[in-house]
């Protein structure tokens, strides 16, 4: 039996409620008054309200732990909420059953399996906890629900409003991103606030794109480095929710505005919204990973991905790590695994320098409890 390198306490087992669509996009959409977008605006307002309700519910659940489970290898269960907001919904496909006549069900099933296979093949990790935790997902959550999320126990997918957002099961990077929040929950469990929260989001983006690159057999040079490509509807001028290659360029749309992610500390956003800008400032460590991976070349999951994976599964990384501390840990891990004089250390050093982060020097320290 494999146990996680960094085991969370009973209170830590329940991680933050993590969505793929950041609140700032939903807030922008919720304020739209043009007749063609009234339905989408209503869907965005509902998604924001629902997010607040789940945060409140989960604050009341802090300290509970998941029930015991039987460890039997890859085990997937897909449920259908039937456009309600009641979880888990009716079971519609379980491990080993054939595809059904529902694209969302089969996309979720396949995406969970691909993510499991990626972590197992690349890093020898069996499921989110390293010990074959069953993977559960619910599709068709809500009416036109504009988001997908990890709630600490399962993946939940909305169908989108059909205008600005479409089905969230359509993007493997969305599935792998949210499941990586589960990996984080059972490893470093970075505090979901300020810089440690931005790192939490960034790590999910990193392994989300790596999962897609792995299944497509794309090297660092040929990959698109996009998170959420395909979830925008026909009205949106944009290619994805986020870009690791060029943060701030994923979309530029009259309705949603311009992608606000910074790629360098010069653009760091100090804000109290979105847990201290976790979906915004994640662009900085995202770009550091991209620079590392492209400098090393080849398959990004091999060397750059291994460095980031070793970092989040190390007991040395504090839950409140800021960018500088995380950067230092990646350097230490690179030296330990590949040698202090190797190309890996040089690539990591240059990457963090390229985004304005000095390893080891902590200008900010994330504090406060993990939000419910």
Closest CA to 299 of 218, 243, 209: 218
Q: Is the pLDDT of residue 1 over 70?
A: no
Closest CA to 127 of 171, 200, 66: 66
Residues 179 and 203 grouped into a single domain: no
pLDDT tens-digit profile of 80-123?
A: 999 999 999 999 999 999 999 999 999 999 999 999 999 999 99
Known catalytic membership, residue 178: yes
pLDDT at 19: 77
Please, are residues 105 and 170 in contact by the beta-carbon 8 Å criterion?
no
Residues 171 and 294 grouped into a single domain: no
Residues 30 and 164 grouped into a single domain: yes
Residues 34 and 138 grouped into a single domain: yes
User: Can you tell me whether residue 267 is helix, strand or coil?
Assistant: helix
Residues 32 and 125 grouped into a single domain: yes
Longest dimension (CA), the chain: 61
pLDDT at 30: 77
| In a domain? residue 193 | no
pLDDT at 34: 66
Closest CA to 225 of 310, 305, 125: 305
Length of the chain: 372
Q: pLDDT band for position 347 (50/70/90)?
A: very high
Residues 180 and 58 grouped into a single domain: yes
Please, are residues 227 and 239 in contact by the beta-carbon 8 Å criterion?
no
Counting residues of the chain whose pLDDT is more than 90, the rounded percentage is 76
pLDDT at 24: 74
Please state, as a whole number, how many other Cβ atoms lie within 10 Å of the Cβ of residue 250: 24
Name the least confident of 30-34, 57-61, 343-347: 57-61
Q: Which of 178, 201, 329, 344 is catalytic?
A: 178
User: How far apart, in whole angstroms, are the C-alpha atoms of residue 290 and residue 329?
Assistant: 17
| In a domain? residue 365 | no
Mean predicted lDDT score pLDDT of the chain? 87
Residues 174 and 28 grouped into a single domain: yes
| In a domain? residue 367 | no
Residue with structure tokens 């749309």?
Answer: 253
| In a domain? residue 359 | no
| In a domain? residue 360 | no
Q: Which helix (H) or strand (E) holds 178?
A: helix 172-185
| In a domain? residue 5 | no
Spatial CB neighbours of 360, under 8 Å, sequence gap ≥ 6 = 324, 325, 327, 328
User: How far apart, in whole angstroms, are the C-alpha atoms of residue 22 and residue 238?
Assistant: 15
Residues 207 and 262 grouped into a single domain: yes
Residues 60 and 207 grouped into a single domain: no
Known catalytic membership, residue 11: no
pLDDT at 54: 52
pLDDT at 46: 75
pLDDT at 18: 73
The CA angle 8-14-18, to the nearest 5 degrees, is 115
Please, are residues 313 and 122 in contact by the beta-carbon 8 Å criterion?
no
Assign residue 59 the CATH number of its domain.
3.10.170.10
Assign residue 273 the CATH number of its domain.
1.10.390.10
Spatial CB neighbours of 229, under 8 Å, sequence gap ≥ 6 = 171, 173, 239, 240
Chosen domain end from 140, 157, 185? 185
Into how many domains does the chain fold?
A: 2
Enter the tokens of residue 44. 């965005």
Q: Tell me the average pLDDT across 52-77.
A: 56
Residues 322 and 231 grouped into a single domain: yes
Enter the tokens of residue 36. 């063609």
Find how far residue 325's CA is from the centre of its chain: 20
pLDDT at 60: 36
Q: What are phi and psi of 19, to 5 degrees?
A: -110, 155
| In a domain? residue 232 | yes
Spatial CB neighbours of 74, under 8 Å, sequence gap ≥ 6 = 95, 113, 116, 117, 127, 132, 135
Expressed in angstroms, the distance from the first to the final Cα of the chain is: 30
Q: Which of 46, 177, 181, 279 is catalytic?
A: 279
Counting residues of the chain whose pLDDT is more than 70, the rounded percentage is 84
Residues 78 and 226 grouped into a single domain: no
Range of the domain at 322: 198-354
Please state, as a whole number, how many other Cβ atoms lie within 10 Å of the Cβ of residue 85: 16
Spatial CB neighbours of 9, under 8 Å, sequence gap ≥ 6 = none
Query: Is the bond leading into 88 cis (omega within 30 degrees of zero)?
Result: yes
pLDDT at 32: 67
User: How far apart, in whole angstroms, are the C-alpha atoms of residue 179 and residue 207?
Assistant: 9
| In a domain? residue 319 | yes
Residues 115 and 43 grouped into a single domain: yes
Chosen domain end from 151, 185, 219? 185
């Amino acid at each position: 039996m494999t146990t996680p390198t960094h085991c969370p306490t009973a209170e830590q087992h329940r991680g933050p409620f993590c969505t793929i669509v950041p609140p700032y996009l939903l807030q922008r959409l919720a304020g739209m008054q043009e007749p063609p977008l009234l339905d989408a605006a209503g869907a965005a307002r509902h998604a924001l309200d629902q997010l607040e309700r789940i945060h409140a519910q989960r604050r009341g659940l802090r300290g509970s732990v998941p029930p015991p489970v039987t460890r039997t290898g890859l085990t997937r269960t897909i449920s259908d909420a039937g456009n309600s907001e009641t979880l888990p919904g009716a079971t519609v496909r379980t491990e080993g059953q054939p595809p059904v006549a529902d694209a969302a069900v089969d996309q979720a099933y396949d995406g969970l399996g691909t993510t499991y296979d990626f972590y197992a093949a690349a890093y020898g990790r069996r499921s989110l906890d390293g010990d074959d935790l069953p993977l559960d997902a619910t599709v068709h959550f809500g009416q036109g629900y504009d988001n997908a999320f990890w709630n600490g126990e399962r993946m939940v997918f909305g169908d989108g409003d059909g205008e600005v957002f479409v089905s969230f099961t359509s993007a493997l990077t969305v599935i792998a991103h949210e499941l990586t929040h589960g990996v984080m929950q059972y490893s470093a469990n970075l505090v979901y606030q300020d810089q440690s929260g931005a790192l939490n989001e960034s790590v999910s983006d990193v392994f989300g794109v790596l999962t897609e690159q792995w299944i497509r057999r794309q090297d660092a040079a040929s990959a698109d480095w996009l998170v959420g490509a395909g979830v925008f509807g026909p009205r949106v001028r944009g290619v994805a929710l986020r870009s690791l290659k060029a943060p701030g360029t994923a979309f530029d749309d009259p309705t949603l505005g311009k992608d606000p992610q910074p790629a360098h500390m010069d653009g760091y956003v100090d804000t109290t919204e979105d847990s201290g800008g976790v979906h915004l400032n994640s662009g900085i460590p995202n770009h550091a990973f991209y620079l590392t991976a492209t400098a090393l070349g080849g398959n990004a999951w091999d060397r750059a991905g291994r460095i980031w994976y070793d970092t989040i599964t190390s007991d040395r990384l504090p839950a409140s790590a800021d960018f500088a501390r995380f950067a230092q840990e990646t350097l230490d891990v690179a030296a330990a695994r590949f040698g202090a004089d190797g190309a890996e250390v040089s690539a990591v050093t240059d990457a963090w320098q390229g985004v304005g982060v000095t390893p080891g020097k902590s200008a900010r320290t994330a504090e406060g409890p993990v939000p419910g």
